[in-house]
Structure 1
Amino acid sequence: MILRATGKPYHAQCFSCMTCQKSLDGVPFTVDATMQIHCIDCFHEKFAPRCYVCHRAILPIPGEEETIRIIAFDRSYHIDCYRCENCNIQFSTDEGCYPIDDHVLCLQCNRNYLQTMLGHS
């Protein structure tokens, strides 16, 4: 049997993911910018943005098509990983983030950092 995908013919056994070699016959797939074929999981693992904190791909939860990614200082974060670098408190929309010197801090840690930098107790 011959399959057609991306405008090209493939033997069914040859139509596979470039990364994991899983057969893509009858399976959802996508292509990258160079037209290489990938299963959805490998494509996400290879091309999805990575979290600055945990370094894992930022992906939708199974069964969902979208996810929320937080971007600060051109860095991507999972919602759960977006925390004060000093005290580890999770940021909320009420409290916000108070960045300083390329660090992502909560208000209290920002104040403490400034006091230390200015030489005050």
Structure 2
Amino acid sequence: MAVKISGEALRLRIFIGEDARWHHKPLYHAIVLKAREMGMAGATVMRALEGFGPTSRIHTVNLLDLSSDMPILVEIVDSKEYVEKFLPVLDTMVDAGLITIDPVKVVKYTHNQTNDPHIDRDNSQ
């Protein structure tokens, strides 16, 4: 059975620094791998052009003030059940950052290959 999400869901947003690590891997990559392992619907990683966090230090791609630790956003949309199962895992992985949850309405979520083992929630639970 393929993942099907429609109607009410949650959007999980994880704001971290590009230099953050988890077991010698970039943290954003480790989060994506863990979300996939836990059978979540999908994850997207976005690198920001500029931002600041609790230290108020500006991180930017401006050549005059180049920062290697750019802001990273990992975004996941899934059912309340799956997001709530993932939160304790994130708590152990994210030492510094911001995690938010927003209610969203899924209008369409499709996949054209129903045999993909990575979207079969029956095999990943």
Q: Same fold (TM over 0.5)?
A: no
Task: Please give the TM-score of this superposition, normalised by the length of structure 2.
Answer: 0.21
Say which one has the larger Rg.
1
TM-score by length of 1: 0.22
